[in-house]
């Protein structure tokens, strides 16, 4: 209906409500690019407070540094990251990422200047970096407009009637970003707001009383992703 005001899409409405309620989020909590990347690996399926302990341990040991991490003794690194869990797996993943970054001498020029698709593909080649971790790094370490989809995102939109539980990551991201401006700051805020919101009120057990999205929650409708064009 041309001429009539277009109603906002669901992702836009959710963003507006979350931003109005929780305010601007200060993300990613890291003092350097390498610290952000290390944190992105350590926080895989792990509560952030446990990651903080590991990161502070690394900081105290002067290990928030790619070269230092690569040359540090394996047992000592594992000991320090132990609070973040999965230390054997995460040690291997950290080393794999650091070696990958060492290929470009821990210089960020290429990461900042190559196309988003190229950088994403490069990150995904690293064993232990999946789509979510790669997009977090793209978004928060390299300020690229990569839309992050995590379990909270699926849960939150699931509450709003979106039947996405098993749709591919890229499909969900493409749908959510479709009606949003391509904007790094916006994407960064969006992901942070979803995490903040879900940690507070959108737990696995539904708590929709008093939730800021209650207006949207009241009448869940099946919202399936459109069929993939390819």
Partner DNA sequence: ACCCAGGGTCATA
Partner DNA sequence: TATGACCATGGG
Does position 132 interact with DNA (CB under 7 A)? The reply is yes
Cα distance between residue 142 and residue 210, in whole Å: 36
Place of tokens 């502070």: 56
CB atoms within 10 A of CB 105: 10
For DNA, which residue of 34, 55, 98, 134 counts as binding (CB under 7 A)? 134
Q: How far is the CB of 161 from DNA (least distance, A)?
A: 20
Q: Are 94 and 81 in contact (CB under 8 A)?
A: yes
Q: Are 186 and 193 in contact (CB under 8 A)?
A: no
Candidates 1-9, 124-132, 177-185, 206-214 — which segment interacts with DNA by CB under 7 A? Answer: 124-132
Q: Are 83 and 50 in contact (CB under 8 A)?
A: yes
Cα distance between residue 184 and residue 227, in whole Å: 27
Q: Are 44 and 135 in contact (CB under 8 A)?
A: no
Does position 57 interact with DNA (CB under 7 A)? The reply is no
Does position 133 interact with DNA (CB under 7 A)? The reply is yes
What is the per-residue binding string for DNA in 64-103, x denoting contact by CB under 7 A? Answer: ------------------xx-xxxxxx-------------
What is the per-residue binding string for DNA in 150-179, x denoting contact by CB under 7 A? Answer: xxx-------------x-------------
Residues 6+ apart with CB under 8 A from 113: none
Does position 22 interact with DNA (CB under 7 A)? The reply is no
Residues at the interface with DNA (CB under 7 A): 27-29, 39-40, 43-50, 53, 82-83, 85-90, 127-134, 136, 140, 150-152, 166, 195, 199, 203-204
């Amino acid at each position: 209906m041309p001429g009539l005001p277009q109603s906002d899409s669901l992702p836009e409405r959710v963003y507006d409500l979350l931003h109005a309620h929780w305010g601007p989020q200060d993300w990613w909590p890291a003092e350097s690019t390498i610290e952000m990347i290390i944190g992105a690996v350590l926080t895989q399926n792990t509560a952030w407070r446990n990651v903080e302990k590991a990161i502070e341990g690394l900081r105290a040991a002067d290990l928030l540094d790619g070269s230092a991490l690569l040359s540090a003794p394996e047992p000592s690194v594992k000991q320090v990251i132990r609070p973040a869990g999965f230390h054997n797996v995460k040690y291997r993943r950290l080393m794999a990422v650091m070696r990958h970054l060492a290929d470009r001498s821990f210089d960020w020029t290429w990461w900042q200047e190559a196309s988003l698709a190229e950088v994403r593909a490069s990150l995904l080649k690293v064993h232990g970096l999946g789509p979510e971790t790669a997009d977090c790094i793209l978004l928060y370490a390299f300020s690229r407009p990569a839309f992050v989809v995590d379990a909270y995102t699926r849960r939150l939109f699931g509450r709003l009637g979106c039947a996405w539980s098993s749709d591919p990551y890229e499909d969900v991201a493409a749908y959510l970003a479709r009606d949003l401006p391509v904007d790094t700051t916006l994407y960064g805020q969006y992901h942070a707001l979803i995490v903040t919101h879900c940690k507070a009120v959108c737990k696995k057990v539904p708590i929709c009383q008093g939730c800021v999205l209650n207006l949207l929650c009241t009448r869940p409708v099946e919202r399936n992703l459109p069929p993939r064009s390819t």
